[in-house]
Amino acid sequence: MRIIVAPDSYKGSVSAVEVALAMARGIWQVFPAAEVIKVPIADGGEGTVEALVTASGGQFRSNEVAGPLGDKVSAKRGIPGDGETAVIEMAAASGLPLVPAGRRDPRLTSTYGTGELIRAALDAGLRRIIIGIGGSATNDGGAGMARALGADFLAAGGSQLAEGGAALAELARIDLSGLDPRLQQTEITVACDVDNPLCGPRGASAVFGPQKGATPPVVVELDTALTRFAQCAQQATGRDVAKLPGAGAAGGLGAGLLFFTPAQLRPGVDIVLDAVGFAALVKDADYVITGEGRTDFQTAFGKAPVGVAKLAKSCGVPVFCLSGGLGKGADDVLAQGIDAVISICERPMSLEECMAAGSELIESATVRLCRIIKAARR
């Protein structure tokens, strides 16, 4: 029996590498002779750098940059085995785990540190950059990122706007005369985990704002601010990107990269799956087990488990998803090639308990799943 385990990380709890190891331990308890191929993956968020660098035998680098609220953080970036590419996770500089729960406010958080990571890659002479943009704490349309690269965001009187998404409501003009010219000689691929537009009911503020601390009135405030941002950015660049799939990713960072750089958006999981050669691996598999920290309606928009399932289904391989939690719309993934979604929680548990015992719960859930598979094979 050949089983591929291809999980994303359980964000804030267990890395994708650790999840894959836990799943393998669970499989071997039921099928001790099984061949288990561990393929930790990512979809553009947490774990993207690790997945791509590990797959290619590359190296890690760190830079001190501004965190979401301006505090300095050490952000890891990667250089894959080719030595010519930079891999950046915006979550390393501008991610939600970097902001304590009591301070989460997408009106104030900024992507400035992500721009600093891009600048560090340019300074290192790298002209091919992969940017994973999942897991953000921000809702600033990528304005902070662009500011770190030389753009100016100006109010009606000519003063610089403050950092954060709320300030964009006062935006009058964007001055790109100081934007780093090296960007135009750089191939930028954006590993994007969702297909949401920038604004509206499926936009950055409405769909992702609440998990970053936005109340319903704040969601409206932020959506209005991003609408103003899109108008000014279109005037400054001549590009109309607000309605493109992925523009709303990472609080609108997708739109910012499309506005201000020669970036192309591509599903993050596709980039990672290509790098690890997943299509070749899955052809001879009997089963695939994937997983993530929470499965809900957002997963069906193109997150890692769905990317895995689409490739596996093209080869007729059954796919199971072990999730840290099931939210509204979790069953939407069943129409995307996943055969069953199973919670790892074995009893009523608080989020804190579940996250603290992540590896053990994943291993136990894998055992339960494999017992079902074993019974069905008799």
For the stretch 213-236, pLDDT in tens is 999 999 999 999 999 999 999 999
pLDDT band at 83 (very low <50, low <70, confident <90, very high): very high
For the stretch 144-173, pLDDT in tens is 999 999 999 999 999 999 999 999 999 999
Which structural domains are found in the chain, ordered by start? 2-40+277-377 (3.40.50.10350), 48-268 (3.90.1510.10)
**What CA–CA distance (Å, rounded) separates 302 from 254?**
15
pLDDT band at 210 (very low <50, low <70, confident <90, very high): very high
Give, for 289, the enclosing helix (H) or strand (E): strand 287-292
pLDDT band at 300 (very low <50, low <70, confident <90, very high): confident
Please tell me the predicted confidence (pLDDT) of residue 377. 86
Please tell me the predicted confidence (pLDDT) of residue 250. 94
From 121-125, 239-243, 282-286, 356-360, the region with the lowest mean pLDDT = 356-360
Model pTM score: 0.79
For the stretch 322-362, pLDDT in tens is 999 898 988 888 988 999 999 999 888 888 888 888 999 99
Please tell me the predicted confidence (pLDDT) of residue 354. 87
What value does the mean pLDDT of the chain take? 93
Contact 204, 165 (CB under 8 A): no
pLDDT band at 258 (very low <50, low <70, confident <90, very high): very high
For the stretch 362-378, pLDDT in tens is 999 999 999 999 999 88
Task: Indicate whether 43 pLDDT > 80.
Answer: no
For the stretch 114-145, pLDDT in tens is 999 999 999 999 999 999 998 899 999 999 99
Averaged pLDDT for residues 188-196:
87
pLDDT band at 298 (very low <50, low <70, confident <90, very high): confident
Please tell me the predicted confidence (pLDDT) of residue 216. 97
Averaged pLDDT for residues 200-216:
96
DSSP string, 139-165: -STTHHHHHHTT-EEE-TTSPBPPSSS
Q: At what angle do helices 304-314 and 268-276 cross, to 10 degrees?
A: 50
Among residues 376, 374, 371, 351, the alpha carbon closest in space to that of 13 is found at 351
Averaged pLDDT for residues 37-49:
82
Please tell me the predicted confidence (pLDDT) of residue 368. 96
Task: Indicate whether 86 pLDDT > 80.
Answer: yes
More reliable by pLDDT, 322 or 42? 322
Token code pair at residue 146 = 């662009």
Contact 16, 36 (CB under 8 A): no
Please tell me the predicted confidence (pLDDT) of residue 155. 97
Averaged pLDDT for residues 44-70:
88
Please tell me the predicted confidence (pLDDT) of residue 169. 98
Please tell me the predicted confidence (pLDDT) of residue 340. 94
Averaged pLDDT for residues 234-249:
96
Please tell me the predicted confidence (pLDDT) of residue 378. 80
Please tell me the predicted confidence (pLDDT) of residue 124. 96
Percent of the chain with pLDDT over 70: 99
Please tell me the predicted confidence (pLDDT) of residue 332. 87
Please tell me the predicted confidence (pLDDT) of residue 249. 93
Is 175 exposed, middle or buried, given 0-12, 13-18 or 19+ CB atoms closer than 10 A?
middle
Q: Which residues contact 62 (CB under 8 A, 6 or more apart)?
A: 74, 75, 76, 77
Q: What is the CA radius of gyration of the chain?
A: 21
